[in-house]
């Protein structure tokens, strides 16, 4: 039987702010050498072909998913990217994707992989999944990570008796929520496992359990598909199915794993220097130990006589806090959101279907952007009611329309777009086009774009 993989790639990212944002969650960030999403796709390819991988995300992250797939050079069909109209947690997402697999294949074995976790896929991983696929013929399988220490940020699974004829598959005796420190130590001593949020099952078993325990969700999605989303409850697969079914089993998994739910979790998995500092970027340190330094600006970070700090340096925001105080970062995000500050949601570089833009500088009177357009792509035909623009080509060839006039611009050439004039930027070449855009006016929000025509169906 074929193995399909469902990759869950929705969700918002605030706990690693300013690295991750609501519109740039951690699975797409290059926190490590590669994104967590690309690493998840690689794990899925261990058991599924590109045609057998389905990705569940939302419209806000569609561009990020496609960028990652393109950068990897993996030919996952575009129709395998399923867009949830609204986020409703993992149970609706999984059942939505499962129905699509059933439509194509009938019955199949399915693996569910969150894309926002870090996991080292070694031989232990391969063996655990191969055994899980066999157990999935009669069970709903989850994966329990063998703990390396007591951790208060994870849920736990208590394994029961071993399933006959399997080496590493056990009945689930119970699930427990995130414990305090004392209980976490007790759970580790008693052989509890970390709950990884990964699953395996057959479509037949999934449908039977969903109809038995969550019939409203199952029947609504089967009848109305994505149109049912607005009526569905937000419900996790653990709460909706795993904690109710009698067919739940757990496969013990001995790998390095983290949900990267905080800067402290990130520090744990990163390589350290001789003073136990975890560093991305350029660091000059004097008598400073056990710090996490993450810089995406190219600036030199100098630390003098400080220990146990988190320093996250982004072009538009700098975070400094004590390690262990990372939970309070949410307070920062909440304050920014209440102020209407876009830095709570939007990263410095924003991905678009045609390429990306980066805000270089801004004030009440102007905004300066670097715009990158992919070969063969073009922006919408548009106009602005509250700003004029000036484009300077830095690299590549630009095809520009201003009003009814079209022209080709090379590196070093420029054009002015008056207020309310229709205009369009296109890259007709075979290399990336880079321009610098200077906006002048009294408002520079992305909602001051009146799209007249768009290749990507945007309004």
pLDDT in tens, 103-152: 998 889 999 999 999 999 999 999 999 999 999 999 999 999 999 999 88
CA distances from 32 to 24, 279, 425 (A): 15, 11, 34
Q: Range(s) for CATH 3.90.550.10 in the chain?
A: 3-258
Task: Quote the pLDDT of residue 60.
Answer: 86
Mean pLDDT of the chain: 94
What is the per-residue pLDDT across 214-255, written as a single tens digit (0 to 9) for each? 999 999 999 998 888 889 999 999 999 999 999 999 999 999
Task: Report the sign of the C-alpha dihedral through residues 225, 228, 230, 236, in that order.
Answer: negative
Tell me the three-class secondary structure of the chain, residue by residue.
CCEEEEEECCCCCCCCCCCCECCECHHHCCCCCCCHHHHHHHHHCCCCCHHHEEEEEEHHHHHHHHHHHHHHCCCCCHHHEEEECCCCCHHHHHHHHHHHHHHHHCCCEEEEEECCCEECCCHHHHHHHHHHHHHCCCCEEEEEECCCCCCCCCCEEEEEEECCCCCCEEEEEEEECCCCHHHHHHHHHCCCEEEEEEEEEEHHHHHHHHHHHCHHHHHHHHHHHHHHHHHCCCCCHHHHHHCCCCCEEEEEECCCEECCCCHHHHHHHCCCCCCCCEEECEEEEECCECCEEEECCCCEEEEECCECEEEEEECCEEEEEECCCHHHHHHHHHHHHHHCCHHHCCCCEEEECCEEEEEEEECCCEEEEEEEECCCCECCEEECCCEEEEEEEEECCEEEEECCEEEEECCCCEEEECCCCCEEEECCCCCCEEEEEEEEECCCCCCCCEEEECCCCCC
pLDDT at 1 over 70: no
Confidence of residue 326 (pLDDT cuts 50, 70, 90): confident
Question: Which CATH number applies to 353-453?
Answer: 2.60.120.10
pLDDT for the residue numbered 394: 97
| Per-residue confidence (pLDDT) for residue 230, from 0 to 100 | 85
Contacts of 159 (CB under 8 A, 6+ apart): 144, 170, 171, 172, 173, 191, 192, 193, 250, 252
Residue 229: predicted pLDDT? 87
pLDDT in tens, 341-355: 989 999 999 999 999
The residue-averaged pLDDT of 18-37 equals 92
Answer whether residue 457 shows pLDDT above 90.
Answer: no
Kindly state the tokens that stand for 171: 């009945």
Q: Indicate whether 90 pLDDT > 90.
A: yes
Parallel, antiparallel or unpaired: strands 433-441 and 118-119: unpaired
Q: What angle do CA 185, 189, 191 make, to 5 degrees?
A: 120
Centroid of chain to Cα 106: 29
Residues forming CATH 2.60.120.10 domain(s) in the chain:
353-453
Query: With bands split at pLDDT 50, 70 and 90, how would you rate the model's confidence at 388?
Result: very high
Four-residue CA torsion sign, 81, 197, 204, 48: positive
Judged against a pLDDT cut of 70, whether residue 379 lies above it is answered with yes
Do residues 11 and 87 touch, judged by C-beta distance below 8 A? yes
Average pLDDT over residues 33-56: 96
Mean pLDDT of 262-274: 94
CATH number for 3-258: choose from 3.90.550.10, 3.20.20.210, 3.40.50.410, 3.30.870.10. Answer: 3.90.550.10
Residue with the bigger pLDDT between 387 and 1: it is 387
Note whether 145 and 255 are within 8 A (CB).
yes
Average pLDDT over residues 255-259: 93
| pLDDT recorded at residue 182 | 92
Residue 459 has pLDDT above 80, yes or no: no
Query: For residue range 271-300, what is the model confidence (pLDDT) as tens digits?
Result: 999 999 999 999 999 999 999 999 999 999
Residues 138-152 pLDDT 10s: 999 999 999 999 988
14 pLDDT more than 90? no
């Amino acid at each position: 039987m074929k193995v399909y993989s469902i990759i869950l790639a929705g969700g918002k990212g605030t706990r690693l702010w300013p690295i991750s944002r609501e519109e740039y969650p951690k699975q797409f960030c290059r926190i490590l050498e590669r994104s967590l999403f690309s690493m998840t796709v690689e794990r899925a390819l261990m058991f599924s072909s590109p045609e057998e991988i389905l990705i569940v995300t939302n419209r806000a992250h569609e561009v990020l998913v496609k960028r990652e797939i393109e950068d990897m050079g993996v030919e996952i069909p575009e129709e395998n990217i399923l867009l949830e109209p609204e986020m409703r947690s993992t149970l609706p997402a999984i059942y939505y994707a499962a129905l699509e697999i059933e439509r194509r294949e009938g019955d199949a074995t399915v693996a569910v992989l969150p894309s926002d976790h870090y996991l080292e896929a070694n031989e232990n991983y391969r063996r655990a999944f191969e055994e899980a696929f066999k157990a999935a013929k009669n069970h709903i399988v989850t994966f329990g990570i063998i703990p390396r220490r007591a951790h208060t940020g994870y849920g736990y699974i208590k394994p029961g008796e071993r399933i006959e004829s399997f080496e590493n598959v056990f009945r689930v005796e119970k699930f427990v929520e995130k414990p305090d420190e004392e209980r976490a130590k007790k759970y580790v001593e008693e052989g509890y496992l970390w709950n990884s949020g990964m699953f395996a099952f057959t479509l037949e078993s999934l449908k039977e359990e969903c109809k038995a325990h969550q019939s409203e969700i199952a029947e609504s999605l089967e009848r109305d598909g994505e149109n049912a989303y607005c009526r569905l409850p937000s419900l996790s697969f653990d709460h909706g199915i795993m904690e109710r079914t009698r067919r739940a089993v757990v496969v013990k998994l001995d790998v390095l794993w983290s949900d990267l739910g905080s800067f402290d979790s990130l520090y744990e998995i990163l390589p350290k220097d001789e003073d136990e500092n975890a560093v991305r970027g350029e660091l000059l340190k004097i008598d400073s130990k056990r710090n996490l330094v993450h810089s995406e600006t190219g600036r030199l970070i100098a630390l003098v006589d400080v220990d146990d700090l988190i320093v996250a340096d982004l072009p538009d925001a700098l975070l400094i806090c004590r390690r262990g105080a990372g939970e309070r970062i949410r307070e920062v995000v909440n304050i920014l959101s209440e102020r209407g500050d876009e830095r709570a949601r939007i990263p410095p570089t924003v991905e678009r279907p045609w390429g990306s833009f980066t805000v270089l500088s801004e004030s009440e009177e102007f905004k300066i952007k670097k715009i990158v357009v992919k070969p063969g792509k073009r922006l919408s035909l548009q106009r602005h009611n509250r700003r004029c623009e000036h484009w300077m080509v830095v690299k590549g060839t630009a095809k520009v329309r201003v009003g009814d006039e079209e022209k080709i611009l090379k590196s070093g050439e420029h054009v002015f777009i008056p207020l309310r004039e229709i205009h369009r930027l296109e890259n007709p070449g075979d290399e990336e086009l880079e321009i610098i855009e200077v906006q002048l006016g009294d408002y520079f929000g992305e909602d001051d774009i009146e799209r007249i025509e768009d290749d990507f169906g945007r309004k």
